[in-house]
Amino acid sequence: MPMRIWPILSLLVLAGCIPAGRGSERRAPVRRPVAQAASTLSDAALRQCQADLRRAGVSFQALPDRSFGGGCDATAAVKLVAIGTPVTNLGAMRCPLALAFSRWVAQVAQVEAERTFGQPLRRIESFGTYACRPVNGQAGGRLSEHGHANAVDIAAFVLADGTRFTVKDGWGGVDDRVRRYLRAVHDAGCRRFGVVLGPDANAYHRDHFHFDMASGGYCR
């Protein structure tokens, strides 16, 4: 085969790998989240964040900056002590995340519970905040925002009457009110956090909502 034919064949092969445009029946690929390391927070910004927490009636403990191996750290972090609704397993959280999360609990999770179920939440259950690990716990992957105390995972909710429902069973479950509630609080999180992942994102998030403050504006 003449050598000049090879460049043409190569272009044809590459063209077959390119996703089809809007006019095609093939669905465009979903943009994947690109988490970035938490940006440095100035002393003034940290003081303002802590003042905003106090104004919101949040009780918290300021934590010293700490650096760990593997690029993990917890800087400009706080530990939430009381935010109006008990939340389990909360550890170090960067202050902007703690502020956004406290507001989400008070202004979204509680408000939607009253609207959907006619009663408040008794408790929210989390899988935690800081954890020095790669994204999705997969070896070789980039560092998760959990490794910067910049993410929180929410797994379940408990209503005032003791009714408990999980993200894992409720997202695609038979209870319409639970499904509506979970989607409402998930979608509202997209307007308050940098990256939001839930059961529709991938199998790794089938049982929880992941909220973080990385740049990216990704919600799934």
Residue 93, pLDDT above cutoff 90: yes
pLDDT of 34 above 70: no
DSSP H/E element including 110: helix 110-117
CA distance 122 to 186: 19
83: in domain: yes
Question: What digits encode the pLDDT tens for the residues 4-25?
Answer: 433 333 333 333 332 333 332 2
Give the number of domains in the chain. 1
d(C-alpha 143, C-alpha 180), whole Å: 33
Residue with tokens 């695609």: 172
Tell me the DSSP string of 132-190: --BGGG-TTSPBPGGGGT-EEEEEEEEETTS-EEEHHHHTTSS-HHHHHHHHHHHHHHT
The verdict on residue 9 lying in a domain is no
Contact 165, 157 (CB under 8 A): yes
Q: Point out which residues pair with 156 in neighbouring strands.
A: 125, 166
Instruction: Please state, in angstroms and rounded to a whole number, the distance separating the CA atoms of residues 12 and 106.
Output: 55
Which amino acid would we find at residue 55? R
Of 201, 96, 186, nearest to 148 by C-alpha is: 96
Instruction: Give 169-202 pLDDT, tens digit per residue.
Output: 999 999 999 999 999 999 999 999 999 999 999 9
Q: Is residue 172 part of a domain?
A: yes
At residue 39 the predicted structure's pLDDT band, cuts being 50, 70 and 90, is low
How far apart are alpha carbons 34 and 157 in whole angstroms? 28
The answer to whether residue 102 sits within a structural domain is yes
Domain annotation covers residue 52: yes
Domain containing 150 equals 40-219
